[in-house]
Every structure is written in structure tokens, then in C-alpha cells.
Chains A and B, each alone.
Chain A
């Protein structure tokens, strides 16, 4: 019973997260300006990180947590560097 509830909720959650990633990709490809694409990339890595956490729940292994932590850290640095680039034209002055 509890396995059925958890498996159904996990399937719905993963489907919702994959659709969210797809919509972020649509915005990234369509976005009229560079800042829209950077914002969509930010949303994309966040959704990917959440998808990895749900994958960790599904497989019952804690190793996906480390992968999602690395994605969160690298995504933060990437978005900050891209915002700096949009503002200044170069990342490190």
C-alpha cells in the first residue's frame, strides 16, 4: 500500500519536474534576450537538481545527494559569472 502511494507520487513528481525542465529549455531557446536565457539556465539546473533528489528517493541510494549538491554549487557559480558577463562584458577584470 505505502509502496503504491510512494511510487505513484514519485512518478507524478518526476513527470512534473521533467515538464518543468522542458519549459525552461523552451524559454532558453526562444528567450528574446541574453538575460532570459541565463534565467532559463538557472531554472533548468535547479529543476535538474530536484529531479536527481527524487531519483535518489526512487532508488533508495544517498549518492544522488552528492551529485545534486555539486550541481547546485556549479550552477550558482555559473549564473553569477554569466550575470557578471552580461553587466561588464568580461568575467574577471
Chain B
């Protein structure tokens, strides 16, 4: 616990606040992941942790090490950028996969596939499991 005592009070309060905001938002996102009722509701909940949860904890870490070492320590920024870029990609792919599976099973909760315009040529092959 020795390095923590070297952080001045004006820096410790915002660092602690950012940590609590980030961890609290991640916690709320996981509560939503556990409690919400359908998959398409649940897929929104963890993004709370991957947007502001990650941002808060990463900013707290950047501030802490910058104050401790007396120079700007910005490499945690890479982590925030990486998570922000990859989360929409993974969740879009996962949601498309879930929609595909539900449509293949004829689940009535999911809207049916829209017919393609006839100008597209041959009749569109409706999604079959490969």
C-alpha cells in the first residue's frame, strides 16, 4: 500500500470516483445480463460494461500511473480503443447468428426474412442450416 500514499488528495478523489463509476456500471450491466428475459434484451446489457465501464477504469488507471510516475502514462488508452472497436463487431455477429438460428427454427418472436426484390434474379435461397 505504499505507492498509494504518494498520490495527492486532488488526484485520489477523481481516480476513486472514476473507478467506482466504471465498476458500478459494469456491475449494473451484468445484473441486466442475468435478469432480463429475452436474448435480444440481454445482448444490450453488457455493453454498459464495455463502453463506460471500461472507459472509467481505464481513465482511473491512466490518471493513477501518470500521477505516480510524474509523466503521462497513456498506454491504457490502447485497451479502451481496442474494446470500443471490437465490441460492436462481436455483438453484431452474435445477434445476426441468433436471428439466423431463430429464423431457421421458425421462432415466432423473430420477424420473418424480408423477400428480396425480384430484380435480384433467381429466387433467394431461404436460410438453410449447412
A→B interface (CB under 8 Å): 1-3, 5-10, 12-14, 16-17, 19-21, 23-24, 26-27, 33, 35-36, 38-40, 42-43, 46-47, 49-50, 53-54, 56-57, 60, 62, 65, 68-69, 72-73, 76, 79-80, 82-84, 86-90
Contacts and interface: CB of A to CB of B under 8 A. Distances in A.
Contact of B64 (A49, A57, A79): A57
Interface of B: 1, 3-5, 7-9, 11-13, 15-17, 19-20, 22-24, 26-27, 29-31, 33-34, 39, 42-43, 45-46, 49-50, 53-54, 57-58, 60-61, 64-65, 68, 73, 75-76, 78-79, 82-83, 86, 89-91, 93-94, 96-98, 100-101, 129-130
A6 B75 CA distance: 21
A10 to B, nearest CB: 7
Nearest to B94: A83
- The SS class assigned to the A binding surface is helix
Contact of B83 (A20, A39, A72): A72
